A = this chain, B = another copy of it.
């Protein structure tokens, strides 16, 4: 059996972890590694590419590859549709529409989304429950000039997130995570005390350069986002 790129990757990682190859030191070239492992150069190349993507090594065209002095720490957080997130925890999901209106976007939303003055939006406030307990408060704004069909879409029984994904299968998003204090509406909806610290995720989604939707998701007290690297 030929050696796989996974085996080469694991072996190189082992050398780095054991300290055989120190931070900052030069790694043998791909041709040399291909000989060492008795593998095709393309196989070694794939292992090196993944090590670089994982932030373990640094590749330079001319001077060769080095073990990174400080590993790049990139944490990947899955941001699933909330129904799926709740169901994957084994809890029963329930959705409620709290508010729905067609309005000219208020100034702060216009600024966030980069809309023209007077730009119309569909504004929705929704709640997502896990086993009957409030899990996430969704404050959603949809740009009607990009998605006019949002004017008449019915969000009484299912949230806008899944509807949006079906309308625009692929889009760019900017995400921002912060801590916020529960105001009167959030404390009522999320069943927590006024001023409680809550985890807030804001997401601006663009498609072909235009703002599609802006959403502010505020989670129940104690919510955590987790990742590994």
Contact = CB atoms under 8 A, between A and B. Distances in A.
Interface of A: 13, 16-17, 19, 22-23, 42, 56, 67-81, 162, 165-166, 169-181, 195-200, 207-208, 222-229
A40 to B, nearest CB: 11
A160 to B, nearest CB: 13
Given A172-B228, A174-B226, A177-B177, A77 B77 contact: yes
Question: Chain B CB within 10 Å — which of A67, A178, A195 has the most?
Answer: A178
B73 A79 contact: yes
Given A74-B79, A178-B199, A197-B197, A170 B228 contact: no
Contacts of A76: 74-77
Given A23-B166, A197-B181, A73 B80 contact: yes
A70 B159 CA distance: 14
Contact of A78 (B17, B42, B73): B73
B74 A177 contact: no
Contact of A17 (B80, B207, B224, B225): B207
Contacts of A207: 17
A178 B208 contact: no
A170 B20 CA distance: 13
Nearest to A168: B17
B224 A178 contact: yes
Contacts of A229: 172-173, 175
Contacts of A71: 165, 169-171
Contacts of A19: 169
B68 A169 contact: yes
Contact of A79 (B23, B75, B208): B75
Nearest to A17: B170
A167 to B, nearest CB: 10
A76 B228 CA distance: 11
A224 to B, nearest CB: 5
The 3 closest A-B pairs by CB, nearest first: A179-B179, A197-B197, A179-B197
